[in-house]
Amino acid sequence: MPEYRLGDDIDDYCVRCKRLTNHLVVSVLSREPAKVRCRTCHSDHDYRHEQAPPPKVDLRKAALFQEVLQKVDPEAAPLAPEAEEPSAPVPAEPAVKAQGASKAAAKPKTKGKARA
């Protein structure tokens, strides 16, 4: 095992850059680098022995999500035909737009004081 000194260049996983980059040894404890500084973004962090942190994905959540995806079948439960049959008639959209246009014509938009 090599003996590390302050200022030595080593490779380590940078938590800020999120990749393996060159680092400088900033502090040494028991002949092992304790803190390192990234030469790309200049952030200081603990020496991680060139290992990325474990992913934050909860394995239980991922397994449940995969189970739900396997159960879903688009032909098993069609929801679209039920949504297309409304019980009450829906007014047409152009009529709503026409009412909005008549309100706009009745009330002119003015900013500030009215000019004489």
35 in a structural domain = yes
pTM given for the model: 0.47
Q: 39 lies in a domain?
A: yes
Predicted local distance difference test score (pLDDT) of residue 67: 85
The H or E element containing residue 106 is: helix 93-106
Q: Tell me whether residue 82 is in a domain.
A: no
Q: How many domains does the chain have?
A: 1
DSSP string, 39-50: TTT--EEE--TT
- What range does the domain containing 41 cover? 9-46
**Which tokens belong to 83?**
């949504």
| 28 is a domain residue | yes
Handedness of CA 5, 10, 14, 17 (dihedral sign): positive
Q: Has residue 37 been placed in a domain? A: yes
Position 88 scores a pLDDT of 54
Tens digit of pLDDT at every position of the chain (116 positions): 688 999 999 999 998 999 999 999 999 999 899 999 999 999 999 999 888 887 776 778 878 888 888 888 544 434 444 444 555 555 555 554 555 555 555 566 666 666 65
Does 19 fall in a domain?
Answer: yes
Of 52, 46, 2, 12, the residue nearest 27 (C-alpha): 46
In a domain, 94, yes or no: no
